[in-house]
Structure 1
Amino acid sequence: MQIKSFIIPKKVSPEQLFMLSVLLVNGGNYLYNLILGRLLGPTQFADAAVLVTFLLVLSFVAMTFQLATAKFSVLFESNLFTTFIIRVYKNAVLIGILLGITIIICAPQLQIVFNTSTSHMFVIFGIGVPFYFLMSVNRGIFQGKKELKSLSITYQAEMLSRLIITLALIFILSDIASSTLIALGISISFLFGLIPFRYKDISFKTKTVIGKTELKSIRSFFLLTAFYELTQIIINNSDILLVKHYFEPYEAGLYASLALIGRIVYFVAWMFVMLLLPKVVQLKKENKDTSKVLFNYVLYIIIISLTIILGCSLFPETIIIILFGESYISMAGLLWKYALATSMFAISNIFAYYYLSLDRYVPVIISGVFGMLQMALVIFFHDSLKQVVYMQIIAMVLLLCIQLIFYKFDYKNR
């Protein structure tokens, strides 16, 4: 089944199409959160925020499979590629099932820990988890093979289905807890995210054998990528969880709105990471220089970051009022500062994924260290929301400086 994502001029390149698609998907996801926030009110939206956070954490975990699939889809060919894909699909489904069952079993405890209105939301979410892992491997194949049109479609299908189905369920089944309906909408969207599904030559009954050398390379990349995605979870979500722990619900709500706006930089930058990895792996495979590609993407992110920081600095009140309303206006002064911290992280992220593509893992470890540093700074210095933001700026500026120093010394020693 073929779905056309847009009607566009023939001159638009696949990369430009993908970038446009990512912008629309990120915009749709933002719209999803904003509509829920305005529609449900603070109390019910708190449950929705827990589910969205779970979705973000899940996306980082599953990204390990997507990036590994993308990388080895470039390196492996013919029979070895098919064997690898069958193997990774099996492992992804197995881990997805185990994680989903764990969430379902722990649903009552999760309800207590996160103080939600029902445990059913976690049960429904857990049922959908295996499909998310399956979807991530499918996306990894498209990413590695540079089938960007298909990759764009799968992201659009997931976002649009989640937005439309969730809102339809809330309006039609208003007597059921909104958190349950939101979880159902999220899980159903995973199925739509499988469109289009690359099933050619895939058989779960086939016994797969991969050489020891290739298997060692795959395992090493999986482990290091998993470690790096863990640092992503820490850096992207620990501040919100810590603020919820140390501050009153009203202040935590204000900070959540600040984080949602300020992270626009990171989510826009993510599309460059998606394009960077297969390009770097291919250039390395052909023994060509990869530095030019790296700095092209770094330059793109710097331009986007400066634009967003400038906008947040010049029009903070307008941005917050349009997106969340006047009740959040007290966060206006911190908006550009949070965007600055996120920008530093987005730029650092490009360097980490660049070296991950080259099987160089020191920058990944550096990111993990500074992720822990960010947590430690917030734990020890949280007298105000302003101080929390300042601690993140300090950690992310240091992280970027260390990544740049590492690149400089590494480049000289080549």
Structure 2
Amino acid sequence: MISVIIVNGGNYLYNLLLGRILGPEEFADAALLITFLLVLSFVAMTFQLSTAKFSVIFEKEIFKSFINITYKYSSITGIIFGVLMIVFSKQLQAIFNTQSSTMFILFGIGVPIYFIMSVNRGVFQGSKKFDSLAITYQGEMISRLTITLILIYTITFQSSVLVASGIAISFLFGLIPFRSRDIEVTKKHKLPKAESKYITKFFILTAFYELTQIIINNSDILMVKHYFETYEAGLYASLALIGRVVYFVAWMFVMLLLPKVVQKQKDGESHAPILFKYVLYITLLSAAIVLGCFLFPEFVINIMFGPEYISVAPLLWKYAIATSLFAISNIFAYYFLSLDQYIPVILSALLGISQVVLIIFFHNTLSEVVIMQIIAMAILLTFQLFFFISYQKLSKKELN
């Protein structure tokens, strides 16, 4: 947890420094790359969470076959995404109104490495080797921060290209340490039918949920970049970064939650108390952040990004509410995901789509965009709570 706080703090510093150094217009392109990185992390998280779960369940030869097959498919997926980004770089430039298409090409080159890195992290997470897991995250964060700043201050070139270069290079550092044990590239691996079916089921469920995460967590920035002028998009990016501090902190609880719930379920023990504990932590944290954003919005904006961004201050506490609702509902969703429950994932998908639809119809101002997210996330959390209550009642009936 300490390590995740450091990593998230470093990533946050990275964003803040870019915002201050580049200014709203250039930061809009940099923020788009950072959003693409978040989208990539959610896609790759399907592999990481699946690896983490089955690292707990599988042993010996079955685990060895599983890990080799996972590396194979993660590499193929990474190559496909990377090639698509490179091939359609010009189209991406047109859609998101960026200064350069080269930034998408450089980012695409690094994508396959990121997918391999995610499987490696999944092994560490599932086997509870949190020291090695911490090093991979810290290596990626520290290298991205230092390399990007060095490039910006030493090379006179388009900032978006330099930022993309820093991101791609940091993926290599994220591979350290790499767990090469059990990897057999030349040998053909096959899983028993029952295990293969179980993995496929969980993987599809996780992939579907991660897709909803991409929609909910990143669609607003992508749509604002498309609908609004570059200056306003830069302002909104700063707003989103500050408001999402709740989500970044909540993620460290998700990292700890999944292996614990899976282990409790495996041992036949109660796992609801773990959920209650983490929901309480996130709720208290969220309330404190929303209150701070409500009472001192201009102070927060000025300290973090500077006076150029001050016009967006009145929206800060509203955005923090939207993010807080999402962070709390996310804890419930990952809890049920670890228990192989489908309905919360479907609910998240529906509300993610509804958020996009609402923004498409109501985007006259940045304030409208934020209010649409509050509405969607409030409904999502309400549904998650109702499902949890129903699930608990059903579980008690089965025990009786």
Give the TM-score of the pair, scaled to structure 1: 0.92
Aligned to 1:6: none
Of 251, 263, 285 in structure 1, the residue corresponding to residue 232 of structure 2 is 251
Matches of 1:244 and 1:118, distance apart in 2:
15
- Please, which of 103, 126, 129 is the counterpart of residue 121 of structure 1? 103
1:91-135 residue CA offsets vs partner (Å, 9 max, x unmatched): 111111121112122222222332333322222211111110010
Aligned to 2:33: 51
8 A contact 2:25–2:231 mirrored in 1: no
Aligned equivalents of 2:141, 2:109: Cα separation in 1: 19
Alpha-carbon distance, 1:388 to partner: 2.0
What is the identity, as a one-letter code, of the residue corresponding to 2:324?
S
Match in the other structure for 2:181: 200
Residue-by-residue CA offset, 1:176-209 (whole Å, 9 max, x unaligned): 3322222111111001001111111211112111
Match of 2:256 in 1: 275
Q: Distance in 2 between matches of 1:257 and 1:171?
A: 22
Q: Which residue of 1 aligns with 2:132?
A: 150
Taking structure 1 as reference, are residues 165 and 328 closer, same or farther at Cα in structure 2, changes over 3 Å only? same
Please tell me whether residue 139 in structure 1 is matched to residue 124 in structure 2: no
Query: 2:96, 2:225 within 8 Å by CA — same for their partners in 1?
Result: no
Task: Give the counterpart of 2:288 among 307, 321, 334.
Answer: 307
Offset of residue 381 of structure 1: 2.4
1:394 corresponding residue in structure 2: 375
Q: 1:413 aligns with which of 389, 394, 398?
A: 394
Alignment of 1:33 with 2:15, yes or no, is yes
AA at the equivalent of 1:100 = G
> Does the Cα contact within 8 Å between 2:25 and 2:234 map onto a contact in 1?
no
| 3-state secondary structure, aligned to 1:93 | helix
Is the deviation greater in 373-382 or in 193-202?
Answer: 373-382
**What's the offset of the Cα at 1:211?**
0.8
Q: 1:259 to 1:145 in 2, by over 3 A?
A: same
Following superposition, the deviation at residue 137 of structure 1 comes to 0.3
The one of the two structures with greater contact order (alpha-carbon pairs below 8 A, sep at least 6) is 2
Which residue does 2:341 correspond to in 1?
360
Q: Which residue of 2 aligns with 1:320?
A: 301
TM-score by length of 2: 0.96
The structure-2 alpha-carbon separation of the partners of 1:55 and 1:393, relative to structure 1 and needing over 3 Å to count, comes to: same
Alignment partner of 1:184 out of 136, 147, 165: 165
Shift of 1:62: 0.4
- The amino acid that maps onto 1:273 is V
Q: 1:77 aligns with which of 32, 50, 59?
A: 59
Change (3 A) 1:61 1:208: same
Could you tell me which residue of structure 2 aligns to residue 11 of structure 1?
none
Distance 1:133 1:350 in 2: 24
- Which residue matches 2:352? 371
Q: Secondary structure at the match of 1:413?
A: helix
Aligned to 2:153: 171
Of the candidates 277, 287, 296, which is equivalent to residue 296 of structure 1? 277
Moved more, 161-170 or 378-387: 378-387
Name the CA distance, whole Å, in 1 between partners of 2:232 and 2:103: 25
The alpha-carbon deviation at position 43 of structure 1 amounts to 3.4
Gaps of at least 5 residues in structure 1 are 1-18
Match of 2:267 in 1: 286
Distance 2:99 2:368 in 1: 32
- State how far apart, in whole Å, the 2-side matches of 1:195 and 1:247 are: 40
Please state how far the C-alpha of 1:149 moved relative to its aligned partner.
Answer: 1.0
CA contact (8 A) 2:48 2:119 kept: yes
Query: Mean alpha-carbon deviation: is it higher for 148-157 or for 385-394?
Result: 385-394
Offset of 1:259 from its aligned partner?
0.8
Q: For residue 129 of structure 2, what is the amino acid of its counterpart?
A: E
Structure 2 portions without partners, runs of 5+: 396-400
Q: Distance between the aligned counterparts of 1:124 and 1:244, measured in 2?
A: 20
Aligned to 1:92: 74
Which amino acid in 2 is paired with 1:405? F
2:321 equivalent among 325, 340, 349: 340
- Distance in 1, Cα, partners of 2:27 & 2:318: 25
Are the aligned partners of 2:78 and 2:114 in contact in 1 as well (CA < 8 Å)? yes
Distance 1:190 1:277 in 2: 24
The CA RMSD over aligned residues, in Å, is 1.3
CA distance in 2 between counterparts of 1:212 and 1:54 reads: 36
**Cα distance between partner residues in 2 of 1:343 and 1:190:** 29
